[in-house]
Structure 1
Amino acid sequence: MSQGANRRGGNRPSKPVRDEARNAAYDLMRAVDERDAYANLLMPVMLRQRGITGRDAALATELAYGTLRGLGTYDEIVAACSDRAPEDVDPPLLDAIRLGAHQLLKTRIPAHAAVSATIDLVRLRVGEGPSRFANAVLRKVAGRSLPDWLEIVAPPADKDPVGHLSIVHSHPAWIVAALRDAVGGDFAETAALLAADNERPRVALVARPGRATIDELVAAGAEPAAYSPYGAYLTEGDPGSLAAVGEARAAVQDEASQLVALALTRVPLDRDGLWLDMCAGPGGKAGLLDAVAVQTGARVLAADVQEHRARMVWRTTKEAKVVVADGLEPAWRPGAFDRVLLDAPCTGLGALRRRPEARWRRDPSGMPELTRLQRRLLDSALDAVRPGGVVAYITCSPHLAETRAVIADVAGRVDTLDAREFLPEVPGLGDGPYAQFWPHRHGTDAMFLALLRKR
């Protein structure tokens, strides 16, 4: 039923067919639009509650995530096929049309099935009248391939390279410009990065040392990661079904996220013993630091300003002390820690693969306030570490305003270590002294790392 198989002679049945996979994808998109839901958190819950499994679950996920990634492109094409601008179309109807456009342009679903199933969805969820508008638009969309449409709706690359990449790869123009700057102005590499953002990422796992092993994860169906000594990739299946994950001995964690935390633990110190994870929620890096600390005899204090995030950290750690505390008004004494990890709040532009709707939520007008917060938190982290100790400043964003510009403000207080030296297993991290991971180079989130030794 997922592809509209219940048809006879091309005549639409009197009663539309309900397709559970498409309804789930549609409901996810409406939740993202109406209440700013996080797709990667809501989708697994929705599928589980509705009992959608197997191929239908894969279809629902692909339709929802793929459509959310491609909104910018699809809206341009829909505009070319309609006498109404997308912003003038009722949002519930527009979301259904976007789902149909994704099926027509980016999947192998036959065009007649994609159109028919989408019109059934509109009839069920929006109304009979709007279904006629949707039918007219989608039949025009189906008349050309995606490359043909891009020739029509995207500005020429030689005249407007940022605008061209924005439409072709479905990213807001300001993000395209920021990523271009982050890769040094190379438009070819920018295009590769944007294309990687639109690929569905593999599920990365971490085997927390002393608690689980790579061999255990491989025996459960994973394969060893390319770089992290504790990393693995799950090629199929639900990671929650693995015993090690269920028992918090292993977890879902991006490989770059693992490595930036490990790099902090590898910096040699004259004395060592007390570590701080200052903005620890939801707990991925804290869980790994906690496991490493137990093996080295160190202790970890993990803090987060939000109680519910601190609870998530508490559930993922074993030995760490977890507190609700504001890094800007710390409850600890200055100079108390040997190592401090600051995973600063950021735009999240490095995780657009996993958070498909995030690119449409961020607004460049919020950058000044965000970077002020990052600077204040970094100042607090440097106050918390002792002279000779090390701070790891981390963002899940390559945006220069959130990375190099923030570090430049504390240059007089620190010696900047070459972070690449503490990640010898990873090539292509940049010119230093910082380390920058990339989706198109490493298959990871675009994590930034600076290692700062306090003078």
Structure 2
Amino acid sequence: MSPARLVAYDVIAAVRDSDAYANLLLPARIERARLSEADAALATELTYGTLRRQGFYDAVIAIAAGRPVDAVDAPVLDVLRLGAHQLLSTRVATHAAVNESVALARRVAPAAAGFVNAVLRTVSRRESDGWRELVAEEAGSPDQALAAVHSHPRWVVRALRAGLEREGRGDELVALLEADNASPRVNLAALPGLAGDPEALGEPDRYSPVGLTADRPLALVAEHHGRVRVQDEGSQLAALALSRVAPVRDGERWLDVCAGPGGKTALLAAEALAGGASLVANEVVPARAELVRRAVAPVPLEVPVHEGDGRELDPAALGAPGGFDRILLDAPCTGLGALRRRPEARWRKTPADVAELTALQGDLADAAFRALAPGGVLAYVTCSPHTAETHGTLGRALERWGAAAEQLDTAGIVQALSRPPLDLAGDGRTVQLWPHRHGTDAMFIALVRKR
């Protein structure tokens, strides 16, 4: 059977069985299987495409099988999802999609091979548009129809709608859901002062002054030994909003509170080096702290990486007894802003996670604000457009900080560093980026100065 399909199945099964992260596991499985470039591309498409559209495929499979998907054994369901993806969202020939799926079923669940064959042949009798119409008709409510057709849990659909409606852009919901299900192009950051002009390396990003795309991105990364890095354009703008909020004074002290895995840290390190500032990183998880050390290694600046709880920051212990001049808090969040790149996150998180995360975000924000020197600037960032994690967390923090905090014109600052103007909504004191509108992850950025 196809080695690409077997790799895709193994990754999807690991995501289900052990909460594996597809973006970390898939490259290792591709390398271990020694897939050709074409097979690696197929395995990638099958893995991410199936995970992104899993909710839709489950609705299709339930109708085609005549039973709810929770009545289907998990390995068999994974095979059916992979087959449905090939039939409804790729150019794979029908006979190949069905036959390869049956061969896979014989390998992982031999007794179910006939069932897989029958279900997928039923799926193959309708085009994707026809299935979308039928799935929507079978749904119990408009929100359930949106959730099933666009493959997002209902609570996520409602959260995304609330984020858009806060900006007066609720009519963009379907475009956002569709963007979450599109395969994003690999985006790169050229560390300023170290990697050269982005225009000489590839196609410059639309907004970020240090971003680019390239035909062979991973080869370009390897050639530049970490000074060109894979990084979403929204993440670049979030880091640059802090580093370029004002001219850097020689001797400034910067801190990245939740630094892992280190992409923003590396960009801040390059900016600090250019401006004569120092940078300290903090990360609570040792494995992620090691990723931060690797990320900053290509920058000729000593960046101490401490392993500690960001809620217990001690500026003196971190080498800044008077506090830090600039602090980045890229707070742990639901990750709903990066569903294009981490599609399994939509199936892992629940509404109960939001309450726990917002409490943590508030504690981290308080610790970061305490660690600021007078006049210092905090960048509160999340890769989520959920209003509880963005305006909710920030608003409650500002109430606690009172007159000691001054919200800055974050939109104006981000617009000033962007190449063309961004289409931003809101009051200007915060920035919410969107996949469908900006082609970035849905990063939230707010800059606050300590008086």
TM-score under structure 1 length normalisation = 0.91
Q: Do the aligned residues in 1 keep the contact of 2:248 with 2:277 (CA within 8 Å)?
A: no
Q: 2:33 aligns with which of 50, 59, 82?
A: 50
User: What residue number does 2:345 align with?
Assistant: 358
Matches within 5 A, 1:83-122: 83-122=66-105
1:417 aligns with 2:399: no
* CA displacement 1:77-136 (0-9 Å, x = unmatched): 111011321111110011001111111111111112211111111112221x20000111
User: What residue number does 1:439 align with?
Assistant: 435
Q: Do the aligned residues in 2 keep the contact of 1:335 with 1:383 (CA within 8 Å)?
A: no
TM-score under structure 2 length normalisation = 0.92
* Superposition deviation, residue 367 in structure 1: 1.2
Give the SS at the match of 1:133. helix
Letter in 1 for 2:9: Y
* Superposition deviation, residue 375 in structure 1: 0.3
Matches within 5 A, 1:259-270: 259-268=237-246
Cα 1:228–1:114 shift into 2, 3 Å: same
Q: Do the aligned residues in 1 keep the contact of 2:338 with 2:441 (CA within 8 Å)?
A: yes
Q: 1:313 aligns with which of 292, 309, 332?
A: 292
Q: Do the aligned residues in 1 keep the contact of 2:23 with 2:342 (CA within 8 Å)?
A: yes
* Superposition deviation, residue 234 in structure 1: 2.5
Give the SS at the match of 2:312. coil
Q: Distance in 2 between matches of 1:343 and 1:206?
A: 18
User: What residue number does 2:444 align with?
Assistant: 448
User: What residue number does 2:132 align with?
Assistant: 150
Q: Do the aligned residues in 2 keep the contact of 1:325 with 1:331 (CA within 8 Å)?
A: no
Q: Do the aligned residues in 1 keep the contact of 2:411 with 2:431 (CA within 8 Å)?
A: yes
Letter in 2 for 1:173: R
Q: Distance in 1 between matches of 2:219 and 2:423?
A: 29
Bigger drift between 313-322 and 368-377 goes to 313-322
1:336 aligns with 2:323: yes
Give the SS at the match of 2:187. strand
User: What residue number does 1:299 align with?
Assistant: 278
Question: What is the total number of aligned residue pairs between the two structures?
Answer: 431
Q: Do the aligned residues in 2 keep the contact of 1:269 with 1:389 (CA within 8 Å)?
A: no
Letter in 2 for 1:188: D
Matches within 5 A, 1:30-429: 30-127=13-110, 129-155=111-137, 160-184=141-165, 186-215=169-198, 218=201, 222-236=202-216, 238-239=218-219, 242-244=222-224, 247-268=225-246, 273-317=252-296, 318=299, 319=301, 320-333=303-316, 335-411=322-398, 412=402, 413-424=404-415, 425=418, 426-429=421-424
Task: Note the residue ranges of structure 1 that are not aligned, 5 or more in a row.
Answer: 1-17
Q: Do the aligned residues in 1 keep the contact of 2:221 with 2:227 (CA within 8 Å)?
A: no
Q: Do the aligned residues in 2 keep the contact of 1:394 with 1:450 (CA within 8 Å)?
A: yes
Q: Do the aligned residues in 2 keep the contact of 1:239 with 1:252 (CA within 8 Å)?
A: no
Q: Distance in 2 between matches of 1:203 and 1:270?
A: 31
* Superposition deviation, residue 216 in structure 1: 7.8
Q: Do the aligned residues in 2 keep the contact of 1:301 with 1:322 (CA within 8 Å)?
A: yes
* Superposition deviation, residue 454 in structure 1: 1.1
Bigger drift between 308-317 and 59-68 goes to 308-317
* RMSD of aligned alpha carbons: 1.8
Letter in 2 for 1:100: G
